[in-house]
Structure formats: structure tokens, C-alpha cells
Amino acid sequence: MIERSDHPTDAYPTRQGGSTRLTPRLDPVLHGKAGPEEPGPLSPTQLAAYDRDGFLLLPGLLSTSEVRELTTALSKLRAEASGSAEQGIIRERGGTDVRSVFAVHHRADALGAIARHPTLLGAARQILADAVYLHQSRVNFKPGLVGGAFSWHSDFETWHAEDGMPRMRAMSASILLDDNRPWNGPLMLVPGSHRTFVSCPTPTPTEHYRESLVDQQVGTPSREALGTLFEQAGERIELAVGAAGTVVLFDCNTMHASPANLSPRPRNNVFLVYNAMSNRLSEPFGAASRRPEFLATREPRPIE
């Protein structure tokens, strides 16, 4: 049974027991004016699509040389990570294949520089109407035939519960460094799901990130809640497919997932999470302790 709550005592209560709750979003999707008068690289049509769907594809945003430079940096990162026991390097369950590497903007100059790309940084400022910083950066590797799935989830639910992100004023940019096709584990998104917050009942286990980064179970929507979002989307799930160099912008509360890579070709994507300076972290709303710095920046500096 899903309990509907239109007037929660907390803005976005979650992981407090009880039952799953579907709560209308209390924050705007486009902050500030974010219209024709708001300066930035996105057109009014693109802003309207982002506002409506909770995501926007920008095909061919990065040039071939930019993709090549980032791919070279990722290859070096992956080689270094393969023999490392560092906490910010996550491996596939039961194996040695690298699943994710976090804080990548600190690990390679090319990855730090791409966060300042005029269109990416400009779009973040335009949508969030504030100075921004990187809350988190990572690369998700999906090697052919062994790259695992990522469960359905809203990033904001985790960032709110486990990191203390107060409101929905953050945006992710997924940079496709390989051709993302329906068969190699692309990002899947539920259009319009960003307008509903799914509150999850199960309390956060101690040091939950150690398990959730490999296979998230706590903080994921129930089958019934996901079915409701799917119905509200007109029975649609969009695949973020495109050639290498495509960028996907998506709201922090958009419900998304990705299947396993069952093809022999890799799918390597970089994720940059821009958060508004006015929305920097407080104490966790649904966990007993903070997550490590590599997952959640606590001393932010605005990106110049």
C-alpha cells in the first residue's frame, strides 16, 4: 500500500519506517527565471523540455578530440584503479572488474577541465540560477558482458538521506564516452518522475554506501511506486542513447536506472553532479553519519 502525503512535516522525509510515500515536489525544476531572459547556453525550447521531462539530451556536444582526450584519461584511471584498494574505487560484486571510480575531477586534469566546459557549467548555472560546485564526480565503467546493472533510484533521495542535501537544486551531466546503444546498458529515465518524491521506508544501515555502490537495495522505489511513476509517464521509459560525445542533463530527482551490458562492447560514462552553492550540505536527514568526502563534497568552492 502506498501512502500519499501532500503536507509532510519535513520537506522530503525518507527512510523513517512506515510505508512508501509519494510526495509532490516542493521545489521548482527551473530556478530563477530560467526563461528567454535567463542567460545561458540552453534555448527556451530546451529549458521547457528539461522542465517537462526532467532530462535533456545534447547530441554531439563534445568534439572527437575532447572525447579522445577523456577516453585516454579514463584508460589511465582504470589501469591505476585495477590494482588499488582505495575506498573510492568500486568493483563489481564478486569480481575484480572496476565498476566505478569517484572524485575523478581530482584524479585527471582532463576530467577536472571538462567540469568547466562552457555549455555544461553554463547550463548548470542557468537551470539552478546560482553559483555551482561539484557535489560528486564519477565514472561508471561497463565492460562488455560483465558491466552490471544499476537499480532504479532517485539520486536526490540518497543525497538527502545520506549526505544532507536540503532541497532539489542539483543537476547531473552524464557524458557518453562510448556510443550508448539499447544493448550495452544505457541510462534509462522515467519522463516526468522528477515531479514526485518517492520516500523509502527502510532506515539507512550503518555505512550503507559500502553496499549500495555495488548493489543498491535501500533507497530504491517499491514496485508499486515505480509502477505509479511509469503510468504517470504514459507507460514510457526513455533510453539515453547516442554517439560518443553526447551529454545527458538530468534533474537530481529523476527516476533512473541502467541495465547490465550484455554486449561485447564497453559503455563508459562520466557523471558530474552540479549543486547550487545555496544548497550545500547539512547533516544527513536519514542516516546516522556522513558519507565520505569522495561521495559528497562538504567544503565546496564555486566553479569558475
Q: Considering the domain boundaries, does residue 296 fall inside one?
A: no
* Neighbouring C-alpha atoms within 13 Å toward the C-beta of 216: 21
Nearest to 93 by CA among 268, 213, 265, 219: 213
Structural domain count, the chain = 1
168: three-class secondary structure by DSSP: coil
Q: Considering the domain boundaries, does residue 180 fall inside one?
A: yes
pLDDT number for residue 96? 77
pTM: 0.94
pLDDT number for residue 297? 97
Q: Considering the domain boundaries, does residue 3 fall inside one?
A: no
Q: Which residues pair with 133 in a beta bridge?
A: 275
Bridge pairing between strands 21-24 and 3-4? parallel
Query: In the chain, which residues have pLDDT < 70?
Result: 1-9, 34-38
195: left (phi over 0), alpha (psi -120 to 50) or beta: alpha
Question: Helix crossing, 118-128 with 44-53: angle to 10°?
Answer: 60
Where residue 210 sits, what CATH number does that domain have?
Answer: 2.60.120.620
Could you report the per-residue pLDDT of 261-288, keeping only the tens digit for each? 999 999 999 999 999 999 999 999 999 9
Q: Considering the domain boundaries, does residue 121 fall inside one?
A: yes
Could you report the per-residue pLDDT of 65-85, keeping only the tens digit for each? 999 999 999 999 988 888 777
Place of cell 528567454: 36
Residues with Cβ < 8 Å from 82, sequence gap 6 or more?
Answer: 96, 98
Nearest to 115 by CA among 64, 42, 173: 173
Q: Considering the domain boundaries, does residue 8 fall inside one?
A: no
Q: Considering the domain boundaries, does residue 1 fall inside one?
A: no
pLDDT number for residue 80? 86
pLDDT number for residue 32? 85
Q: Can you give the residue range of the structural domain that contains 237?
A: 21-279
Instruction: Find how far residue 10's CA is from the centre of its chain.
Output: 23
Q: Considering the domain boundaries, does residue 81 fall inside one?
A: yes
Cell numbers that stand for 299 in this block: 567544503
pLDDT number for residue 2? 43
